[in-house]
């Protein structure tokens, strides 16, 4: 009884050699890249507004974590209590940045939801 020898299988890495799966993944990544660029542009236009101290300090930040403006009511400016004003500004800026980052995370998380990307890729 003679056994037929099988020729060894050649290894093909995913995404090379014209495999349909690799082309699909590249297409998905291109679409995601375009969607991310659009989301970034939209985030630059969106803002969050935070007020502290009963509205005496207001901060507006963009979705790209840029402070757009800081407004301070004149009656809160007390030369004898600069520390309080600094604390109010710091609290408002930090809260505005936190909200801005949350808005950006929410916008970006929707873009990758349907992809089966390996952990840590993004």
- Between CA 115 and CA 39 the distance in angstroms is 17
Q: What is the pLDDT of residues 32-89, one digit of tens each?
A: 888 888 888 888 899 999 999 999 999 999 999 999 999 999 998 999 999 999 999 9
> Average of pLDDT values for 102-121?
73
| Pair 57, 73: CB distance under 8 Å | yes
**Does the pLDDT at position 11 exceed 60?**
no
Nearest CA-CA partner of 63 in 106, 102, 100, 109 = 100
Domain ranges of the chain: 47-111
- Higher per-residue confidence, 29 vs 80: 80
Task: Quickly state the pLDDT bin for 110 (edges 50, 70, 90).
Answer: confident
Strand-strand pairing, 67-72 and 57-62: antiparallel
SS3 95: helix
| Pair 53, 67: CB distance under 8 Å | no
Task: Quickly state the pLDDT bin for 9 (edges 50, 70, 90).
Answer: low
Q: Is the pTM of this model over 0.85?
A: no
Q: In this predicted structure, which of 29-38, 75-84, 97-106, 113-122 has the lowest mean pLDDT? A: 113-122
- Between CA 33 and CA 67 the distance in angstroms is 26
pLDDT of amino acid 29: 83
> What CATH code would you report for 47-111?
3.30.1310.10
Average pLDDT, the chain: 83
Nearest CA-CA partner of 57 in 79, 40, 75 = 75
Segment (H or E) for 27: helix 20-45
- Between CA 121 and CA 35 the distance in angstroms is 17
């Amino acid at each position: 009884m003679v056994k037929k020898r099988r020729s060894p299988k050649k290894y093909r890495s995913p995404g090379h050699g014209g495999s349909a799966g690799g082309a699909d993944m590249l297409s998905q990544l291109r679409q995601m890249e375009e969607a991310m660029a659009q989301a970034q542009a939209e985030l630059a236009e969106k803002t969050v507004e935070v007020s502290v101290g009963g509205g005496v300090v207001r901060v507006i930040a963009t979705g790209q974590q840029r402070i757009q403006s800081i407004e301070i009511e004149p009656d809160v400016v007390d030369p004898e209590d600069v520390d309080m004003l600094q604390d109010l500004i710091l609290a408002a800026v930090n809260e505005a940045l936190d909200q801005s980052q949350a808005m950006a995370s929410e916008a970006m998380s929707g873009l990758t939801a349907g992809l089966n990307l390996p952990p840590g890729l993004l």
